[in-house]
Amino acid sequence: MVFQLTDELLFPPVVYAEEDGLLAIGGDLSPERLLLAYQLGIFPWFDGEVPLWYIPDPRFVLHPSEIRISNSMKQVIRSGKFRFTTNKAFEEVIDQCSKIKREGQGGTWITAKMKDAYIQLHRLGYAHSAEAWLNGNLAGGLYGVKMGSVFCGESMFSKESNASKFAFIEFSNLLITQNLRLIDCQVYTSHLESLGAKMISREEYLSFLPA
């Protein structure tokens, strides 16, 4: 059963989600609605002009302390080729994520409305970016939302080989120092599986979120 959201700030119980995780459609992308969604384990997607709200079961996640780093990637990190930063280029990161061509996707779900919404969340201190720089230029990065002990990853991009992977690994190490316990990767990718991401049940995922 898929619910049509109204102006009222609420979501239906997550047990009503469809098999693919779709729970509701419509509503807005206000900071209040987005933060409520993440607190409930729900994330937005776009199909055309209408927000779609998902809570898949199982959920694809990675424990930062369990990240797998290949020997070749360790060499890249030791080489000092890339420079790592956080929150230095949030708007550029989300813009690049919206433009990058992805296999099997004809367009982007990161619409202008989505970009504006997450830039607003960033200015409020909830959305964060991680960047990899090469010779002073942004080479790769990722962005997402912190919710309690979970970092909800939204998207990543790379202009140079290994740049997004470098940013992801360095950011994971930083999250460990900040006592974050889980990175929510949302849906499966072989790229993230190679780094140690795995499926867990919706119930287990929800146990990591603020009560």
CATH number of the structural domain spanning residue 172 = 3.40.630.70
- What's the CATH number where 36 sits? 3.30.70.3550
**For range 44-49, the mean pLDDT:** 83
Q: Is residue 145 part of a domain?
A: yes
- Sequence-distant (6+) residues with CB within 8 A of 50 are 25, 26
| One domain, residues 192 and 97 | yes
Q: Is the pLDDT of residue 106 over 70?
A: no
| One domain, residues 92 and 190 | yes
Q: Is the pLDDT of residue 109 over 90?
A: no
Q: Is residue 138 part of a domain?
A: yes
| One domain, residues 37 and 68 | no
CB 56 within 8 A of CB 187: yes
pLDDT digits (tens, 9 = 90+) for 177-208: 999 999 999 989 998 999 999 999 999 999 99
Half-sphere exposure of residue 22: CA atoms within 13 angstroms, side-chain side: 14
User: Which of 21, 43, 58 marks a domain boundary?
Assistant: 58
Q: Is residue 211 part of a domain?
A: no
Residue with the larger pLDDT of the pair 101 and 12: 12
Cross-strand bridge partners of residue 182: 150
Helix, strand or coil, per DSSP, at residue 62 = strand
Q: Give the amino acid at 111.
A: T
**For range 155-159, the mean pLDDT:** 96
Closest by alpha carbon to 129, among 87, 82, 171?
A: 87
What is the 3-class SS of 146-202, one letter each residue? Answer: EECCEEEEEEEEECCCCHHHHHHHHHHHHHHHCCCCEEEEECCCHHHHCCCCEEECH
Secondary structure of the chain: what % helix, strand, coil (to 5)? 35, 30, 35
Q: Number of folded domains in the chain?
A: 2
Mean pLDDT of the chain: 94
Q: How confident is the model at residue 105 (pLDDT cuts 50, 70, 90)?
A: very low
pLDDT of residue 48: 74
| One domain, residues 37 and 76 | no
| One domain, residues 49 and 143 | no
**For range 42-61, the mean pLDDT:** 92
Give the range of the structural domain holding residue 25, as residue numbers without chain letter. 3-58
Q: How confident is the model at residue 62 (pLDDT cuts 50, 70, 90)?
A: very high
* pTM for this prediction: 0.93
Q: Is residue 68 part of a domain?
A: yes
